[in-house]
Structure 1
Amino acid sequence: MLSQLSLRKAENADADRIWEILQQAINKRKEEGSDQWQDGYPNLEVVKEDIANNYGYVILENEQQIIGYVAIIDAVEPAYLELEGKWLTDGKYAVVHRLAVAQDVVIKGLGTWTMQEAEKVALSKDIKSIKVDTNFDNIGMLRVFEKLGYSYCGEVFFRGGARKAFEKVLE
């Protein structure tokens, strides 16, 4: 199943499907009892900004159906400057935000595959580090980070809440 997947830059025409997928992820987090993404973020405007900044990517099945979304950002994340802890590196890095997969299509390993693709995108831009964060209760993403060798570096704060921060140095 994973062999039928591809990643491409998001386009303006993709925004509605991306927003639909994000809403599914927002609802899933709520059903799981999490407060992650329950404060009006992310929203359609954030998606449109990602696309305008060339940060947005869609996950395609069979090169046509959009089944996921991720923002791969090659700019400084201001919240990461205030890490309570220590990053592995001080140089250039990519940030992965807003990884969401469609709930109406179930593909085992999709989160892991997406993070591996994000690593390839970073390396293609000569970026040797990825920094990420997630809610303390986002077990799925925490497992992905562990499986792919991300190191726990401390806590960052977004919109008043603490989140676990991780980094992976890419080879």
Structure 2
Amino acid sequence: MALIYMRKGVMDDLDAIMEIIDSAKALLKADGSTQWQDGTPNREILLNDLRHGYVRVLVVDGKIAGTATLMTQKDPHYTKIYDGEWDDNKDRYATIHRIALSTKYRGMKLSKFFFSNLISDTYAQEIYHMRIDTHELNLRMQKLVSYFGFNYRGIIYVKTGSEGKRLAYELNMVQ
């Protein structure tokens, strides 16, 4: 059995994180998705996430196997939602962004382990609401968020135009 855990990312993790992000971009492209095909997320964005303490990494036997950004302040992209509404619009929430797993660890069901840890981390911070968005062609992420009880809430835009359209999901945990 491998030693698997999640921890906060540090600056020394940046190269490994970028390698994972780049392989995820290639996978999304192969799936026909335009998500992450515009150059983002890039090194500058991830460096900023690290500086703010938002990055979480999944570690398997001492190697970084996954990365995610777990933000705990309001996301301006979530202010306006179309064709739906947030279930909870008043309480504090965390947002999962830029989540990806290394191709070296695919098939180990690590995405479920990682998601569970992200939810636990949020709960431990006494934040009981989570949000996430994904491209409509990212079926893997849609399946994963549904598995964890995230409910589809509507459409948000991360940038103008059809390329910025994202499906928005929300999870409300009981205290």
Does TM-score exceed 0.5, indicating one fold?
yes
TM-score (norm 1): 0.95
Work out the percentage of aligned pairs sharing the same amino acid: 28
CA contact (8 A) 1:155 1:163 kept: yes
Paired with 1:53 and 1:83, the residues of 2 have a C-alpha distance of: 26
Q: How does 1:3-14 map to 2 (within 5 A)?
A: 4-14=3-13
Partner residue, 1:145: 145
CA contact (8 A) 1:94 1:122 kept: yes
Partner residue, 1:73: 71
Shift of 1:104: 2.2
Structure 2: stretches of 5+ with no match in the other structure:
none
Shift of 1:31: 1.2
CA contact (8 A) 1:119 1:170 kept: no
Per-residue CA deviations over 1:26-79 (Å, capped at 9, x if unaligned) read: 0111111110000011001111111100000110002x1001100010011001
Partner residue, 1:94: 94
Per-residue CA deviations over 1:3-23 (Å, capped at 9, x if unaligned) read: 631000000000010001000
Partner residue, 2:81: 83
Structure 1: stretches of 5+ with no match in the other structure:
none
Q: Choose from 161, 165, 171 the match for 2:168.
A: 165
CA contact (8 A) 1:111 1:141 kept: no
Partner residue, 2:35: 36
Amino acid of the residue matched to residue 52 of structure 2?
A: N
Q: Secondary structure at the match of 1:104?
A: helix
Q: Alignment RMSD, CA only?
A: 1.2
Paired with 1:156 and 1:95, the residues of 2 have a C-alpha distance of: 13
Per-residue CA deviations over 1:112-142 (Å, capped at 9, x if unaligned) read: 2211111111111100000010010111111
Amino acid of the residue matched to residue 9 of structure 1?
A: K
Paired with 1:82 and 1:146, the residues of 2 have a C-alpha distance of: 22
Partner residue, 1:113: 113
